[in-house]
Structures are given as structure tokens and as C-alpha cells.
Amino acid sequence: MPSLNQLSGIEIRDKIRTQEISSEDIVLACFKRINDVESKINAFTEVFEKEAVKRAKEIDKKIKKGEKVGNLAGIPLAVKDLISVKGHQTSAGSKMLNGYISPYDSTVIERLVRKQDAIIIGTTNMDEFAMGSSTESSFYGATYNPWNLKFVPGGSSGGSGAAIAADETILSLGSDTGGSIRCPAAYCGVAGIKPTYGRVSRYGIIAYANSLEQVGPISKTVKDSALVLQNMAGKDPKDATTVDESVENYLDIIENGIEDFTIGIPNEFYGEGLDPDVEKQVRNAIKILEKKGSNIIKVSLPHIEYALPTYYLIAMSEASSNLARFDGIRYGYKTDNTDGNFNEVFSRTRGEGFGPEVRRRIILGTYALSAGYFEMFYIKALKVRTLIRQDFLKAYEKCDVLIGPTMPATAFEIGTKLDDPIQMYLEDILTVPINLAGIPSMSLNCGFASNGMPVGMQIMGKFFKESDIFRTAYVLEQEMKYFKQRPDLGGY
């Protein structure tokens, strides 16, 4: 008999509904697990135990009385530390926002928590301002991979990935600007989807690169991701970039199979530098899909060769502007030494409050937007971005989904890439093209490498066709059953 906190979100939802268990039971089970393993993982920046238990009791009362409750009633949810939750610190893993209490809820919290009754159990650790692929740059210390504590959990939503893998929570939210949901999902052996740009409201999400990022679930199973996404997606009047495209009931169609699907294998995802262990597991997954009746074809995305520099130019440029507001005047960190004019005080505050990677990206982005370089860098990057999007659109003329590895290799050891930004940036080579194009993509565990670390595969879909991704991922998950494997952290 597994412990309650090891169950999936769908299982918990059903058990709460039938009153087989109470919300309080599962919330307490998660906090017990957090108490047991958190000292090893460091997945959370803050836990809301008292408040969560109180809310669980309220929901239990409602259910007992037969009152109507939300679709996620009583299910524990951990949210990345850049998603504004009213009355709680939202720090984006930075000293700059240490102590900043958000006075408002982001739209995703309004929908999942206030409307659908999920229970927030805490905020999860991340690379500072979502800039990184390892969750090592957080002001609150690194997060450790539950599969091997010497390894990084991936990033930047490493806390959410690790918390799911370690069964510290049932559901979680991450955000993905250049792979920040899919990378930790891959490294932690769980599922995570970056929705189509415009699918989920960004209102209340602290921006890193606003033309690239989306909030999405990281979960134990494919169905859990579908459950979370369908309850938070859709047009939001507070976010002008959300699209008025109807949100399907993913759970209704998730078991429809993929017999009529054509699946594209983009050459460029299997090039030099791909770890043979990773390639082997992904190819194996493709074989399963073929066996399940889908038509496999080769495709090419010629311009993704330029995706990495294009991504970093756009992301850093946007970051330099998005992070300008952190000046210590209204909220957040402020330098103790306030001598000099406002420019000097701003500079000192920002120099002290931001970590080295954030400073690096702001400086590079500021440079790229400067007169004389703007056309050469930013405008050119936008042009390449269009070409990359067109590559994908062309591939989707023939395919329903594309399959590739999520990361070029499995998780790496903590500390090995921290001083080498270029090596760190190369981690994102297979994830950033998706953000540039704006399409949805899920990372799913498709096996383990010889070092015992999980391997992630990416299922990329057409614009707003997250349903195709879920159908494909569900077939694979049910065949491979890797989601049933859990790292051994002891404690039970």
C-alpha cells in the first residue's frame, strides 16, 4: 500500500470526492513527507502548513455537507516562487525580492486555488528570476535531485520538479521561458508541459522574458498535467496576450489513442552531442508509438541550428527591461548605503540584490538593445525567430506531433557548470526552439540512463493542440509505466 502522498492527483481527487480520504489527510501526508525529506531536497522556499491545513478542513466540511466544491478540491499544490500568491512572499528565488509579500493573486492562483479549491502547500525553489537550468542560483540555496542528491534537479523550476519526484506534493506549477518546466521534468523523471504561448494567463507571474514564457504544470502523471492545465487555461482579460481559443476538456479525450496520428522525428534533435543513453530511450519510445498505430516520418527544422543565440538575445533583452523595476524604492531589497543620487542608490541596490547570472543577463540584454547594436542583434533575432516558427508550421503540415529528447543528456552533478555560463546555456539547446515558436511541448519520463538518472522526451504539438500532446503522452506512459518508479529517499 503506497503512502497517500505517493498517489496521483486524479487518484487523490477521486478519493476526496468519495470521502474515502479527507483533504486534511492528504495535506498532512504531504507535510509529513516534507518534514522527512526536505532537508535533503530543499524543494521549497516556504511552506504554508497552518494555512493549508485550515483550508483543507474547510473544504472537508463543505464536502461533508454536500456543498459544491471546485474541480481540484482539497488537492495539494506547490507553486513556483515567481507566481504571485496574495499575502505570501513571491521572491523569484532572489535576494532582491526577499521579504516582498504580494498584495494580489496571479490569475492562475485565482483559478486553481480560489475557484477550483486546490490547496497551496508552499512555494518552490527556482533559479534566480528563472535564469538557469539547475536551480543552483537561488538565494535560498540549491535544490537537490531526489534520484541522486549529488545531481541537479534541472531548472529553473527545479523545486517543483523535485517536490513532485520526492512525493512532497501532489501537483505543482512551474514556468517555462526556455525549458524551465521541461528540463526539471526530464531530470526528475516526471511529466511537465509548457502550454502554447497565450494559452495560460501570465498575470501575476514575475517576468523574465515575457514574449517567451508560460506557466504550466509539473506532475507525476500525464492526466494530472491535463487536470491542472484545463482548469487554468483560457482567455484572461488581465493578460492581453492570452488567446480567446476554447479550452478542451483534455481528460475527456486523453484516452482516445493515436492510431490516426502522424508523428514527426526532427533530424536536428538527434545531432552531435546527444547522449547515446538519451537517444536510446527516446528511440525506444518512438518504437512504442509506431507499434500503437501511428505513422512515423522524418522531418527537418533547418533553422533551429540558430535557436540558442536567438533565444538568448531575445530573452536577455526582455529581461533587461523586465527586471528594471527592481530598484528598492517601492518593495524588495534596498541597499543600506543610501549615499548619492538616485542613480547611484539604484545601481548599488541592484548590484547587491541580484546574483551574478541575473546581472550578466541584464548587462548583455542592455547591450543588445543599445543604439548601434539593436538592429544587428535584437531585430535580427526576431527575424530568425520567425523562420524557426515557420519551420515548425511546415512540419505540422504533415505531422500531428513531433518527438525528440528534452535535454541532450541526463542531470549533471551540482557545481559542475556553475562557473561556465556557456555550458549552462547549451543545456537549453533542445528546449528553446519551442519557446521561440510558441508551440506547446511536454516532457515525459521515457526511461533511465546507465547512471540511473531519468531520461526525458519531448512531445511537441501544434498551436493550441495540447490535447494531441496529452493523447500521445498518455499512450506512452501507460505502455512504459515509468511514472510508477520513485526515487528511494527512505522515510516510509
Q: Which positions lie near another protein, rule CB under 8 A? A: 82-84, 90, 92, 97, 100, 102-104, 106, 202-207, 210-211, 237-241, 317-318, 320-321, 324-327, 329-331, 342-343, 346, 366, 369-371, 374-375, 378-379
Q: Find the shortest distance in angstroms from Cβ 193 to another protein.
A: 21
- In whole angstroms, give the CA distance from residue 361 to residue 164: 29
Q: Is 172 a catalytic residue?
A: no
Indicate the residue among 11 and 327 with the shorter CB distance to another protein: 327
Catalytic residue from among 94, 138, 160, 180:
180
Q: Find the shortest distance in angstroms from Cβ 392 to another protein.
A: 19
Indicate the residue among 236 and 477 with the shorter CB distance to another protein: 236
Indicate the residue among 86 and 115 with the shorter CB distance to another protein: 86
Contacts of 349 (CB under 8 A, 6+ apart): 326, 327, 328, 333, 334, 335
Q: Is 321 a catalytic residue?
A: no
Grouping H, G, I as helix, E, B as strand and the rest as coil, residue 127 is: coil
Helix (H), strand (E) at residue 232: helix 222-232
DSSP letter string, 454-487:
EEEEEEEE-TT-HHHHHHHHHHHHHHH-GGG---
Residue 106 vs residues 98, 196, 207, 457: alpha-carbon distances, Å: 18, 18, 12, 30
Nearest to 480 by CA among 288, 296, 294: 288
Indicate the residue among 149 and 329 with the shorter CB distance to another protein: 329
Q: Find the shortest distance in angstroms from Cβ 346 to another protein.
A: 6
Alpha-carbon dihedral sign for residues 103, 109, 114, 115: positive
Place of cell 512572499: 89
Indicate the residue among 321 and 485 with the shorter CB distance to another protein: 321
Indicate the residue among 378 and 470 with the shorter CB distance to another protein: 378
Indicate the residue among 39 and 343 with the shorter CB distance to another protein: 343
Catalytic residue from among 133, 156, 172, 201:
156
- In whole angstroms, give the CA distance from residue 70 to residue 58: 13
DSSP one-letter code for 210: T
In 24-166 the beta strands, taken as DSSP E runs, fall at: 44-47, 76-80, 119-124
In this structure, are residues 280 and 441 in contact, taking their beta carbons and an 8 Å threshold?
no
Catalytic residue from among 8, 15, 22, 80:
80
C-alpha cell at 244: 480567446
Indicate the residue among 261 and 326 with the shorter CB distance to another protein: 326
Q: Is 39 a catalytic residue?
A: no
Pairing between β-strand 262-266 and β-strand 441-448 as defined by DSSP bridges? unpaired
Grouping H, G, I as helix, E, B as strand and the rest as coil, residue 445 is: strand
Grouping H, G, I as helix, E, B as strand and the rest as coil, residue 173 is: strand
Q: Find the shortest distance in angstroms from Cβ 348 to another protein.
A: 13
Contacts of 418 (CB under 8 A, 6+ apart): 134, 136, 137, 424
Contacts of 427 (CB under 8 A, 6+ apart): 133, 134, 179, 183, 407, 408, 417
- Nearest 5°: CA angle at 210, between 208 and 212? 100
Q: Find the shortest distance in angstroms from Cβ 238 to another protein.
A: 6
C-alpha cell at 442: 511536454
Q: Find the shortest distance in angstroms from Cβ 379 to another protein.
A: 7
Q: Find the shortest distance in angstroms from Cβ 245 to another protein.
A: 14
C-alpha cell at 22: 479527507
Q: Find the shortest distance in angstroms from Cβ 310 to another protein.
A: 15
In this structure, are residues 408 and 430 in contact, taking their beta carbons and an 8 Å threshold?
yes
Residues annotated as part of the active site: 80, 156, 180
